[in-house]
Amino acid sequence: MRKLLATTAIAAVALMALSGCSTRTDTTGGSTAAAGFPADSVIGVALPSKTSENWVLAGGLFEDGLKTAGFKGDVQYAGASTTVKDQQDQISAMVTNGAKVIIIGAADGGQLGTQVKAAKDAGATVIAYDRLILNTPDVDYYVAYDNFKVGELQGQALLDGLKSRKAAGPYNIELFSGSSDDANSAVFFNGAMSILQPKIDDGTLVVASGQTDIKQTATAGWKAENAQSRMDSLLTSTYGDKALDGVLSPNDTLARAIITSVKAAGKPIPVVTGQDSEVESVKSIMAGEQYSTINKDTRVLVAQAIKMAQALQKGEAVDVNDTKSYDNGVKIVPAYLLPPVIVTKANAAEAYANDPKLAPLTK
Ligand code: BGC
């Protein structure tokens, strides 16, 4: 069912891109949607710490894009150590400064209830960016790449990569997931497991460590060192005389940490998935090390978030294309989901053709 929804959402986005039409608009969303606000208002952007390259890129793109749109942008990152508290304080300051829209890439999606309530009480509209904000009625919209689809693509890439190296299983694999304070982590993992679980059940895939529960596979803080040390332990405990054929990695930073660990153990590099199209991972894919990544063009995601702010400024309805998938525990948050693209060495040149930073790496 969820797969159907994801597929339908992708189809809708594709159709929209082809026809140039806008998707259905939300008329029930933010209470401030109809009012509009002055064109030079403050728009707050609260980003998490820079745990992956996409967040680094987003800050600059928001600064530039909001300025071009005529807004006063207030773009903040949570620090690396007191991440949650930093972000809570930053959002509170944005409310005090009269921000009309607050766009949030949550450091911890479950810890912002008080701050987004204050934002709503002050008349601001709250947009969750990339990561959903949980257990609060006070988030108006969500804009992200289709996270479940990301997971499905990762699961399928792992299977495809394994088959390309050895025609038939069983294949020994290990599973990694993201940080448990990021709502995306479970969605990525569930998407991947929707593809992998049937193959585990029929014996094609063997998780030799037995660690298949998301709690066992989680990587606190999305930190490379945590993935690397878990991989080190798995290699010692389970792969002394066994081949490791593949690893499900939820993103590129962790993929490279996993590869570093395997190399240090003197083992052949398994098929390793990723996400984000980070420069070092695209290089690694072209060099035949990391197997796959996902293209979630940050430029497009930031532009879509700014489009939402512009619609709100004019008092127009905000474009959404999914009103079913993102239940935050209190409400279903109307979402605009963009389609992620799987990238391997085979399609990298095509996938990054319009990305001036990545295209040269694929030549
Ligand atoms: C994002 C990923 C990113 C991860 C770690 C997730 O919420 O969707 O693109 O790799 O956070 O920063």
For 306-356, how does the pLDDT look when each residue is reduced to its tens digit (9 = 90+)?
A: 999 999 999 999 999 999 999 999 999 999 999 999 999 999 999 999 999
98 and 188 in a single domain? The answer is: no
Determine, yes or no, domain membership for 357: no
CATH at 35: 3.40.50.2300
Q: If phi over 0 gives left and psi between -120 and 50 gives alpha, with beta otherwise, what is residue 117?
A: alpha
171 and 100 in a single domain? The answer is: no
What share of the chain has pLDDT > 90, as a percent?
88
Ligand 1, residue 222: give the atom nearest the CA.
Answer: 5
Among 52, 53, 154, name the best residue to mutate to test ligand 1's pocket (greatest count of ligand atoms within 8 A of Cβ). 52
21 and 117 in a single domain? The answer is: yes
Of all protein residues, the one whose alpha carbon is nearest to atom 8 of ligand 1 is: 130
Of the candidates 114, 251, 242, which has an alpha carbon nearest to the alpha carbon of residue 182?
A: 251
What was the pLDDT predicted at 91?
98
Does the pLDDT value for residue 11 go beyond 60? no
Determine, yes or no, domain membership for 2: no
Determine, yes or no, domain membership for 362: no
Confidence of residue 30 (pLDDT cuts 50, 70, 90): very low
CA of 147 to the centre of ligand 1 (A): 10
Q: What is the mean pLDDT of residues 224-235?
A: 98
Ligand 1-lining residues (CB < 6 angstroms): 51-52, 54-55, 130-131, 178, 182, 184, 222, 251, 275-276
Ligand 1, residue 54: give the atom nearest the CA.
Answer: 9
CA of 58 to the centre of ligand 1 (A): 12
151 and 290 in a single domain? The answer is: yes
Which string of b and e fits 120-143 if b means at least 16 CB within 10 Å? beeebbbbbbbbbbbebebbbbbb
> Tell me: the pLDDT tens digits for 275-286?
999 999 999 999
| Alpha carbon distance 262, 258 (integer Å) | 6
Among 53, 77, 130, 143, name the best residue to mutate to test ligand 1's pocket (greatest count of ligand atoms within 8 A of Cβ). 130
Determine, yes or no, domain membership for 353: no
Give phi and psi for 197, each to the nearest 5: -55, -45
Does the pLDDT value for residue 157 go beyond 70? yes
Ligand 1, residue 296: give the atom nearest the CA.
Answer: 9
Determine, yes or no, domain membership for 180: yes
Cα 239 to Cα 250, 291, 308, distances in angstroms: 21, 20, 49
181 and 263 in a single domain? The answer is: yes
251 and 126 in a single domain? The answer is: no
What was the pLDDT predicted at 35?
79
Give the type of residue at 319: D
250 in Cβ contact with 196 (< 8 Å): no
What was the pLDDT predicted at 316?
97
120 and 196 in a single domain? The answer is: no
Determine, yes or no, domain membership for 345: no
Domain stop point among 295, 329, 354? 295
CA of 47 to the centre of ligand 1 (A): 11
Find the domain containing 226 and state its range: 147-295
284 and 158 in a single domain? The answer is: yes
Domains in the chain, number: 2
| Alpha carbon distance 300, 17 (integer Å) | 13
H or E stretch covering 294: strand 292-295
Ligand 1, residue 253: give the atom nearest the CA.
Answer: 10
Ligand 1, residue 276: give the atom nearest the CA.
Answer: 9
Q: What is the mean pLDDT of residues 7-14?
A: 41
322 and 302 in a single domain? The answer is: yes
Confidence of residue 34 (pLDDT cuts 50, 70, 90): low
Ligand 1, residue 55: give the atom nearest the CA.
Answer: 12
Determine, yes or no, domain membership for 57: yes
13 and 130 in a single domain? The answer is: yes
Determine, yes or no, domain membership for 302: yes
290 and 308 in a single domain? The answer is: no
What was the pLDDT predicted at 320?
98
Of the candidates 57, 272, 275, which has an alpha carbon nearest to the alpha carbon of residue 185?
A: 275
Of all protein residues, the one whose alpha carbon is nearest to atom 10 of ligand 1 is: 251
Of all protein residues, the one whose alpha carbon is nearest to atom 4 of ligand 1 is: 52
Domain stop point among 239, 263, 295? 295
58 and 118 in a single domain? The answer is: yes
What was the pLDDT predicted at 9?
41
